[in-house]
Amino acid sequence: MKNKKNVFKHIIEHTLQGVFWLLPIVAVTVIMIWLYSKVGALVNAFFGVIGFEPERHIYLWMMLVVLVIVLLLYVIGLFMETKIADILQKVFSKIPGYSTIKDIVNVLNSSKKGDTKVLVVIIKGFGSTGCNIGLMYSQKESIIKDHYTVTLSSSPIPNGGFMFEVHKSNIYVIENATFDNNLQYLLAMGVKSMSEILKAEPKKIEEFLPLEEWLEKNRM
């Protein structure tokens, strides 16, 4: 009976790993296919006006569609840095739920800088002994002086966990680790260590960058 439970648990765990690994790939693929079809229709309509049918020249048509998509994304990227984008965000922020969705998207964007960067951190002496690996979704100081908010996610399903206020002297930054690396770490359930995921040699905790030094270096 025990063996059956272990087999069932093994199947469930690895099935969930597969699901969480595929989700971002599937989401991006679906969005790109939708965008490709819309831009393709736009390219056909535009060139149809001048009597040229690009779909008859498949490689040319594909190149035109990809070029339009890249230009579109580039323009959107530039637009996001303008004051008009800030005004639109303020307008949309009045819509219930928009701010929450925007915050979630920002959380998942681990490439951001400064106080919105997602940091993978080590919490020294958390609990009675030992250390924990967690995330800092923001580097803003807590309501408690010299303390910062750290989250510890559950494993293997990382959509739950706990938040703690930890003194900065007990927080060390794993500089080359990302949000995605931490997700892999959680899904692996200890089968893979963080050093294996990062392809890095284990180090003493004192060799990692203290949070206080990270803050000084990134806020100059």
pLDDT at residue 113 tops 70:
no
- Of 92-101, 162-171, 186-195, where does the model show the most confidence? 162-171
Percent of the chain scoring above 70 in pLDDT: 66
Task: Round to whole Å and give the CA distance between 130 and 113.
Answer: 30
Read off the pLDDT of each residue in 124-141 and give the average, rounded to a whole number: 81
Per-residue pLDDT tens over the stretch 62-95: 777 788 878 887 777 777 667 666 676 677 666 6
Alpha carbon distance 131, 162 (integer Å): 15
Q: Return the pLDDT at 35.
A: 77
What would the 3-class secondary structure string for the chain be?
A: CHHHHHHHHHHHHHHHHHHHHHHHHHHHHHHHHHHHHHHHHHHHHHHHHCCCCHHHCHHHHHHHHHHHHHHHHHHHHHHCCCHHHHHHHHHHCCCCCHHHHHHHHHHHCCCCCHHHCCEEEEEECCCCCCEEEEEECCCCECCCCCEEEEEEECCCCCCCEEEEEEEHHHEEECCCCCHHHHHHHHHHCCCCCHHHHHCCCCCCHHHCEEHHHHHHHHCC
Tokens of 60: 């040319």
Task: With a cut of 60, say whether residue 110 has pLDDT above it.
Answer: no
Higher pLDDT, 53 or 105: 53
Cβ neighbours of 89 (radius 10 Å):
13
The model's confidence at residue 111, banded by pLDDT at 50, 70 and 90, is very low
| 169 in Cβ contact with 212 (< 8 Å) | yes
Lowest mean pLDDT among 39-53, 65-79, 103-117: 103-117
**Residue 90 carries which side chain, given as an amino acid letter?**
K
Mean pLDDT of 113-128: 72
Sign, Cα dihedral of 107, 110, 116, 117: positive
* pLDDT for the residue 98: 56
Asked if the model's pLDDT at residue 127 lies above 50, the reply is yes
On the question of pLDDT at 178 being above 60, the answer is yes
Delimit the domains of the chain by residue range. 2-81, 112-218
pTM: 0.53
Number of residues assigned to the chain: 220
**Across all residues in the chain, what is the average pLDDT?**
76
More confident residue, 210 or 111: 210
Residue-level pLDDT at 147: 93
Average pLDDT over residues 137-159: 85
Specify whether the CB–CB gap between 115 and 106 falls below 8 A: no
